[in-house]
Amino acid sequence: MVRIIRTTFSNVHEKPTFSSQVVTQGIAWEKAELLNQDGDWLNVRLPDGYEGWIQNFTTLEMDDGKYEKYQSLAQRIMDFPFGRLMNDNGEFVGETVMGGCYPVPEEHPDCVILPSGEQGCVRGQKLETVHTTRARVVALAAEMMGTAYLWGGKTEYGTDCSGLVQCCFGIESILLPRDAREQIKVVKDHPIASHEAQPGDLAFFQNENGRIVHVAIMTGPDQFIHSSGEVKRNTFTEGHPLYSEKLKRMLEGVYKMPEKSN
């Protein structure tokens, strides 16, 4: 049997209690490897290696053969937020999240399949006019503008800085670790000056102890999108309305965009 996330997304807690902090999120169709159980709480490991506790009701056990059948279908990665699924009668049947990967039914190529087996046609916007990987990463981040900051979040319902980065790059098949302090290890060998940055390069920030605590997606020379309070734009250019003296002071470095994952 394969255990997957059943709901649109599932908050993953540090401990088996709702009062403990959310450390990340699982999203629909992601595998959740069971490590332990405490009543209705499951200790799981997600595909990116992150571990934590989720509620049993947010998961579904699926027969291996059924799961493989779904995975053999064409897959659609959502590149826009708040996708609404409607059935043939125009009724709302569910929703998708940006970055989620959903099977496509052979008979309805405009639809996707939810873990429940229910199908729906996708209502939402797609990035069909943006073609380069660098431009798409920035366009994806821009789709999340205004999304509230949420520690441990990685969807349009709330995201932290590294969750935003992981989501936008993951859609483009660039698989990154969950935390900023791990993401920097992927690009550490390719530093550049902030004024030389191209769309899709990454900026990392450190606290007074030298610990990496924040990450942003560069949109061009000295300009970036990140999640801090909300997903927004800032710049390192003094005198600009979006200048952030604090972030410029905290800047650890800017690095070239990572390569696509094999």
Question: What is the model's pLDDT at position 15?
Answer: 97
Judge whether residue 256 has pLDDT over 80. yes
Strands 191-192 and 154-155, by their bridges, are: unpaired
Judge whether residue 29 has pLDDT over 80. yes
Mean pLDDT of 175-200: 97
Judge whether residue 128 has pLDDT over 80. no
Inter-CA distances, 96 with 28, 37, 150, 172, Å: 8, 28, 19, 17
Q: What is the mean pLDDT of the chain?
A: 95
What is the residue-wise DSSP string for the chain? Answer: -EEEE-SSEEEEESSSSTTSPEEEEEETT-B-EEEEEETTEEEEE-TTS-EEEEEGGGEEEE-HHHHHHHHHS-EEE--SSSEEEE-TTS-EEEEE-TT-EEE--TT-TTEEE-TTS-EEEEES----S--SHHHHHHHHHHHTTTPBB-TT-EETTEE-HHHHHHHHHHHTT----SSHHHHHHHHTT-EE-GGG--TT-EEEEE-TTS-EEEEEEEEETTEEEEEESEEEEEES-TTSTTB-HHHHHHEEEEEPPPPPP-
Question: What is the model's pLDDT at position 200?
Answer: 97
Encode pLDDT of 66-89 as tens digits. 999 999 999 999 999 999 999 888
Judge whether residue 10 has pLDDT over 90. yes
Q: What percent of the chain has pLDDT over 90?
A: 90
Judge whether residue 261 has pLDDT over 90. no
Judge whether residue 129 has pLDDT over 80. no
Q: Is 41 left (phi over 0), alpha (psi -120 to 50) or beta?
A: beta
Band of residue 187 on the pLDDT scale cut at 50, 70, 90: very high
Rounded to 10 deg, the angle between the 180-187 and 161-171 helix axes is: 50
Mean pLDDT of 86-108: 92
Amino acid at 70: Y
Dihedral sign for Cα 17, 18, 24, 28, please: positive
Question: What is the model's pLDDT at position 87?
Answer: 87
Q: What percent of the chain has pLDDT over 70?
A: 98
Mean pLDDT of 1-5: 97
Judge whether residue 262 has pLDDT over 70. no
Judge whether residue 186 has pLDDT over 90. yes
pTM value? 0.93
Question: What is the model's pLDDT at position 257?
Answer: 96
